[in-house]
Structure 1
Amino acid sequence: MYSKHLPNLANMKALARLYRSIKQGQGRQVSHSRALELIARRYGFFDWNTAAAQVRNLHAPDRFQAGQHVSGRYMGHEFQGSVVASTRLSEEEVLISLEFWEPVDVVTSNHFSNKRRRVSVKIGIDGRSQECLSRGIPHLEVVEERNMARP
């Protein structure tokens, strides 16, 4: 029903602002939320929340997909693994769930360890988390891999 011909969220919001300004010029006040709802209905959606979710998914880059093999660094340690799930949170942020092929020790202490096999982390579209270790290294850096076989 919906296609990639839909405008992105920024353009839909711009249409809502334009609609409001036109109506204001005609002496009619329309709230921003009402304008968003009307724009959503114009494109065949039930409401703005449905439209926003659908448009985010349509315009999301397909960089990380379930089953994809990836490598990178988690908490400063190199890893290889697979994407379990990838959920678009916004146009700039993705929640990615990874399964490491070998458990990764997330502790830097020599006195004990804590190995993780699966993690879920918010990352930007560049594949890096905004959260960093105290030495400035991102918690997670993910690199797409081509032709990488699981050991």
Structure 2
Amino acid sequence: MSNFNNGTAVPTPDALKSQAKRLRSAMAEKQTPISQGMALEAIARQYGYRDWNTLSAAAKSNAPRGWHVGQRVSGRYLGHLFSGTLKAVRAAHGGYWYLTVVFDEAVDVVDSEAFSSFRKQVNVTLNPEGVTHAKTSNGIPHMELRAT
């Protein structure tokens, strides 16, 4: 069997192990017990992979990366350096993330000497590289974020 996945989304490693456990249980009920290793190999073939190790690696590489509530972050918001904490995190389709960032110190979001407008918290949508698609009028991303 090849390493070709049939296009089915690969669940997390824990979900795959749960599937293998249910398979073992079902087989035991039918008086045909199998080992955990056999169950894992059967699950791998079901997803179109040649073996458990290959499927497991694919599942780990598909795991969401990066952001979690309470994580310390820093970067630039509207061109201003900041540090802060993630208050809310939600994974979106295609590796994008919806985040609420609470700044350690409020950021002035107005580039004017006539007045100021400070923000202590913002909601942003980031791409997999930690950058917003939205840009200022001079082409700078609204936010560039990195874990600290």
- Per the normalisation by structure 1, the TM-score is 0.57
| 1:86 and 2:93 correspond | no
* C-alpha distance in 2 between matches for 1:99 and 1:60: 25
* C-alpha distance in 2 between matches for 1:11 and 1:113: 51
Residue type of the alignment partner of 2:131: R
- Give the alignment partner of residue 12 of structure 1, picking from 8, 14, 33: 8
List 4+ stretches of structure 1 deviating above 3 A.
Answer: none
- Per the normalisation by structure 2, the TM-score is 0.58
**Are the equivalent residues in 1 in contact too, given 2:88–2:99 (CA < 8 A)?**
yes
* C-alpha distance in 2 between matches for 1:127 and 1:69: 14
* C-alpha distance in 1 between matches for 2:63 and 2:114: 43
| 1:71 and 2:74 correspond | yes
Task: Tell me which structure has the larger Cα radius of gyration.
Answer: 2
Q: Structure 1 pair 115/61, CA: closer, same or farther in 2 (3 Å)?
A: same
Seq. identity, %: 36
Instruction: Give 1:1-150 correspondences, 5 Å limit.
Output: 11-12=7-8, 59-145=62-148
Partner of 1:48: none
Please state how far the C-alpha of 1:60 moved relative to its aligned partner: 4.5
RMSD: 2.3
Please state how far the C-alpha of 1:61 moved relative to its aligned partner: 2.0
Residue type of the alignment partner of 2:7: N
Deviations 1:113-134 (A, max 9, x none): 1100011101101000001111
Structure 2 unaligned runs (5+)? Answer: 10-45, 48-60
Residue type of the alignment partner of 1:64: W
Q: Structure 1 pair 60/140, CA: closer, same or farther in 2 (3 Å)?
A: farther
Please state how far the C-alpha of 1:11 moved relative to its aligned partner: 2.3
**Are the equivalent residues in 2 in contact too, given 1:86–1:96 (CA < 8 A)?**
yes
Residue type of the alignment partner of 1:99: V
